Each structure stands twice: as structure tokens, then as C-alpha cells.
Structure 1
Amino acid sequence: MINVFRKGWRPASVLLLLFILWEVAVAIAEVPNWLLPPPTDIVQEAISGWTGFRQHLQSTVMLSLLGFAIGTGIGLLTAVLLHLLPFIRESVYPLLILSQNVPIIVLAPLLVVWFGFGILPKLIVITLVCFFPITVAALDGFRQTPEELKHYMLMAGASKGQLFWKLELPYSLPSLFSGLKISATYSVMGAVISEWLGAKAGIGVYMTLASSSFRTDRVFVAIFAIMLLSLLFFGSILLAESLLIKWKSRESARK
């Protein structure tokens, strides 16, 4: 985690350079603000409109966290069942892959028709985009357990439950956290898409209102807020990984 912060100045420098080029290019080309506002105008709008934007941000954060928690639970439970019951995995796993080929933006209106405009269809959208990376990552992690260690524990008299909890699950944690990092960023995207279904508040609602009124600066405020939220969620999972998987952190530090 420390190494990540030490190397963070490089992408930050590139990002700052891009913002400077953006500011200069817009000024030289005299691009109208409604078409492409400069970064300084976007920052000013973010500061001046913070009071009104805050409630939308809070709504998206809460929806993302709740959907991510549900998606994580369902994804991990699905992975455990498919791992422990191979005959179910052979039957269900192809269907899980097919489920990811259905565009969420197409499925979302159907969820509104089926479940109304409440929070349920929004949580379903976030769960659908979150559970699959976790399921696949956990299954890969379970399969990466060394066979010699399995044989050793079985020879020592370990049951299947002990084999799973004491060996297979710990060995799957690095892969599981990879899936969690992907799902954490997807949860924000899923929340914004779900808010387009007819929510009363949220970044998706804020973005829709800004776009319909040609407030491009507010649209960019929403875009940058989504990016920052995704980075914050990703960093939180990364921090949890470094705390829970100490041996991997030590190996990364030595590299």
C-alpha cells in the first residue's frame, strides 16, 4: 500500500498535465462552455454547487455500498456452492457467463416494469454487475490451492469442511480481493445506471438534469465524482487486502 502512494505522483503528474493542456486548448480554440468547459470552470461549479450536489453524492454512496455488500455476499456464496458441488458448477457456470452478456442498460427498464420504481430494481442492477467478478475470482482462487497441501491435510484426517476453511479459503483470498476490487468500481457504475431508472436523488439523477439543461460543467462534475468514488472504493479494498493478507504485503514490499 505504501508503494502505491509512493508511485502515485506519476499518474497524478500526467493527470495534471492533461488538465493544463485541456485548459489551454479550450482557451485557444475559444470553445463555448456549453460544449466543453475548461477544468477551472468545472472546479468552480463543484465548489459553488457543493450544497446541492452533496445529497446526490450521499445517495449514490449509500446505494453503491448496499449493492456492493449484497453482490459480494451472493457472489461469494455462489462461488462456494459451485466449488463444493461440482455437478452444479458444470450445469450453472455456463449460465452465469451468459448472464453477463445481457446489457444492463437494456435490462434496467424491464426491472422497473417488474419491480416498480423503489430501491429493489436498483439493488438488482448493482448486484448483477458486482457478483460475477467475485464468483469467478473466488472459484479461480479455490482451484489454485496446491494439491500436495490438500493431500497432506487429508492424510492428517481433515474433513472436507476443515480442508475448505483452513486451506482453500485462505489460499483464495488474493484472487478474491482481485474480484472485490473490480466489483467495487463496478458498484458505482451500477448505482449511477440504476438511478437513471427514476430515482429522486443520486449522481445519475444530477447528471440527467444537467445534461437536459446543457449544463456541461455539471455533467463533468458528476463524471469526476464517479471517478473519485471508484478510486476511493478501490483504495479501500486495497487497504483491506494489505491488512488481511500480511504475507502477500511482505512479498510485494520485497519486490
Structure 2
Amino acid sequence: MPLFKPLLVVLGLLIIWEAIVVVFDMPDYILPGPKAVFLSMYENTSLLWEHTLVTMTEMLLGLILGVLFGILLAMVLVYFVALRPWLLPLLLVTQAIPVFALAPILMLWFGYGLASKVVMTILVIFFPVATCCYDGLRHTHQGWLDMADIMGGNRFSVLRHIRWPAALPALASGLRVAVVVAPIGAVVGEWVGSSAGLGYLMLQANARLWVDQMFAALTVLAVCSVSLYFITDLALKKLIPWQPAT
């Protein structure tokens, strides 16, 4: 039953898409219909699967490392107050420069392989994870901290039993955002320079006017991103049962 409404929305979008193609008599090189795209997905299943594995590897590695670095920086900002004026501007700089502008430089530094795409993914998701975790840690209810101090709690025990559980709902929000934007870093890196991945496949299909294949790769990327989001959301709900639903 929970899947009924999303499936209904997808079906409605497909109907609107097909109606636009039919009513406006769109040529295939501008907007292919859903049937042409699904046929291309069927005919190029192995090719799409090969490039999907590359893009998903880049996304997952970037997510894991970006989340770890974001949490680490958030804890440093909370517990090392003297470093806060130095690190906060650095955190803002990571988002002040668009990843599109940094992509050629990162390609030069890290090469055209996996590393540059992972670094770009880290840069994209690092900010929401770090800021949400930082806000969650520093906005822990003062009454809980006072009670822990009265009971003789040390810094580690307070972090483990009070600050960290209190910060998890905020961190969960950052993780949901990170999962959604993770494909940006991977795909932009593949556009700038790569020999594999869904972004690379889309670029090659566009150059050859294989628009149906380009839409097929885009559809697979969207399905992977949405699936990753729902898996993450379900896991967070199980791991944080005390997070209010409203």
C-alpha cells in the first residue's frame, strides 16, 4: 500500500509524457516517447548495467567518505571551540565554489579515474552532513547536559549517551539531502572526463543523437537515486525510532 501512491504518480507522469509526444508530434531526436526509451533500456540492458555499476560505486564511496568526514568535522567544531573560527569559513568555501568549476581542477589533480568522481561526490554531500550534524550536537537540550554533569559523566559518555542520540534526527535530515545530491558529483565528473559511467554514456549518446539511449541512461540514474533515497529513509526510521514523525 505505501508504494501505491508513488507508482500512481509515475504512471501519471508517463501518461503526460506520452501525451506531449503525441499531441505535439515530437520527433525522436528531441523527445522520444516512453515506449522508445523502455525499448532502448531493454536492448541495451548489459551496457546500462555496466555503466550503472561504475556510477553507483562512485556515489556510494563518496557517500561513505563524505558522511565520515562531515561527522568528524561536526564533532571537531563542537568540542574544539578554538578551531571553530578557522574551520567554519573553510566549510562555507566548500560550497561557495560550484563543483562544476572545480571539476576540471580535480580531474587534473586526481586523474580521470574513480578518485576524482569520489572527491567531487564528497564535496557535494559534505556540507549538508557536516552542518546538520553540527547543529544537532550543539543544540542538545541543556537540561540533559546538566543532569549528566551532576551524575559525573565525562566527555565521552556524554557524547555517546546524550549528544549523539540527540543529534541523530538532525543528522538523518542531512543524510537524506546527501543521498539526493550525491549523483551530481559523480555525473558531473563523468561529463568532464571519464571512460565509463551513466554520465559518460549520456554524453556519448548525446553526441551521436541517440536520444532514446540518453533518456534510458537518465531514467536508470533517476531510479537508482530514488531507490537509494527510500532505502536510506527506511533505514533511518528503523535506526532512529524516537524521531517524531511530525
TM-score (norm 1): 0.91
Contact 2:94 2:127 in 1 (8 A): no
**In structure 2, C-alpha distance between the alignment counterparts of 1:15 and 1:247, rounded to whole Å:** 32
Percent same amino acid among aligned pairs?
A: 30
Aligned with 2:192: secondary structure? coil
Give how far 1:72 is off: 0.9
Aligned with 1:196: secondary structure? helix
**In structure 2, C-alpha distance between the alignment counterparts of 1:186 and 1:23, rounded to whole Å:** 28
Indicate yes or no: 2:53 matched with 1:61: no
Aligned 1:45-84 pairs, distance under 5 A: 45-84=40-79
In structure 2, the residue matched to 1:126 is: 121
In structure 2, the residue matched to 1:224 is: 219
Contact 2:63 2:178 in 1 (8 A): yes
Mind listing any 5+ residue stretches in structure 1 that lack a counterpart?
A: none
What CA RMSD, in Å, does the superposition of the two structures yield over aligned residues?
1.5
In structure 2, the residue matched to 1:212 is: 207
Mind listing any 5+ residue stretches in structure 2 that lack a counterpart?
A: none
Aligned 1:190-209 pairs, distance under 5 A: 190-209=185-204
In structure 2, the residue matched to 1:85 is: 80
Give the number of aligned pairs.
246
Contact 1:177 1:237 in 2 (8 A): no
Amino acid at match of 1:183: A
Query: Aligned to 1:164, which of 159, 177, 189?
Result: 159
Q: Report runs of 4+ in structure 1 exceeding 6 Å deviation.
A: none
Give how far 1:38 is off: 0.7
Query: Aligned to 1:246, which of 237, 241, 244?
Result: 241
Query: Aligned to 2:169, which of 165, 174, 178?
Result: 174
Amino acid at match of 1:138: C
Indicate yes or no: 2:74 matched with 1:100: no
In structure 2, the residue matched to 1:137 is: 132
Moved more, 111-120 or 133-142: 111-120
